Amino acid sequence: MSKRATREGYGDALLEIGDDKKIVVLDSDLSNSTRTCVFKKKYPLRFFNCGIAEGNMISTAAGLSSAGKVVFASSFAMFAAGRAFEQIRNSVAHPNLNVKICASHAGISVGEDGGSHQCNEDIGIMRTIPNMTIVSPSDYYEAKFLIKSSAYIDGPFYIRLGRLAVDNIFNDSYNFNLGKGILLEDGKDVTIIATGLTVFFALEARKILRQDGISAKVINIHTIKPIDKEIIIKSSEETGAVVTVEEHNIIGGLGSAVSEILCEENPILMKRIGIQDLFGISGKPTELFKIYEINADSIVKYTKILLKINLNVFNKLEDFP
């Protein structure tokens, strides 16, 4: 399978919907990296470089949206979620405006740029804001179709995109459905719930687990908020054990969202795989995935530990008078 970054899906999607004169794109002097440069080249009159002033960019996006435009505002996740939080909260989310915040270079896969640019907290920050929809595509195709769909779904979006070229899971026939998780592989022993680039790791882990006689269900949660409670509860009831995987701090991200649901609806043993409340370091993405234990081998390792714990608990319950 070819590898392409989700940020490329963003750029290509903007080209495909660019004939719609309601579409306006803003960037904070990073258009080559965020890939909004392709829109700028074809539709220069509806592209605005706001400079290294992310708060101002979001305020400008809010103004354009209030005038009837569908605005895509782009920067790195560290700056979009971090530097512009107040404007996102008060100028975009509070009035529920039609602004799509497309945050590229999220997570440790930014690699050599190091901890200052590896934003592992953005989903947690955005989840706390009312009216905010949060999506995290797993590959190029999901990103492209997600972007195109978001343009015609009213309200603010936080769209998490990556720098790293990743394996494609889907193809041109993909159909994005906001708020609905996707069952990629069925299984009976454990449910692995993943988002973003970790979906591919989950699929690879499933193959390894199958060789050891463990049947894993794999679910892609592309919409973090509103999250698909139904598929999470149903799958947890069917397998009795859940592992979540994300390229994000385990506090506030996918793992937190899933654990909140299960705590209220179906308390079972689960393991959150992700950044263990740490800052990133500089290094090649593959090396960092290994260091922070966000890869197929780590999913296999912690799934086996969880299943062993689950079996011990089950045996104790069976013996309980």
Which residue numbers are catalytic?
54
Residue 269's DSSP bridge partners are: 241
| Burial of 321 (C-beta count, 10 Å sphere; 0-12/13-18/19+) | exposed
CA distance 32 to 49: 12
Write the CB contacts of 182 (distance below 8 Å, at least 6 apart in sequence): 219, 220, 222
CA distances for 173 relative to 31, 160, 309, angstroms: 28, 22, 40
DSSP 218-240: EEE--EEES--HHHHHHHHHHHS
What's the token pair of residue 62? 């809010």
What's the token pair of residue 95? 């009035």
CA distances for 174 relative to 3, 131, 142, angstroms: 17, 26, 7
In contact, 166 and 289? CB cutoff 8 Å = no
In contact, 246 and 106? CB cutoff 8 Å = no
Q: Which residues of 251-268 are buried (b: 16+ CB within 10 A; e: fewer)?
A: ebbbbbbbbebbeeeeeb
CA angle (244, 256, 280) in 5-degree steps: 75
What's the token pair of residue 20? 């719609």
Find, among 58, 38, 158, 141, the residue nearest to 106 by Cα. Answer: 158
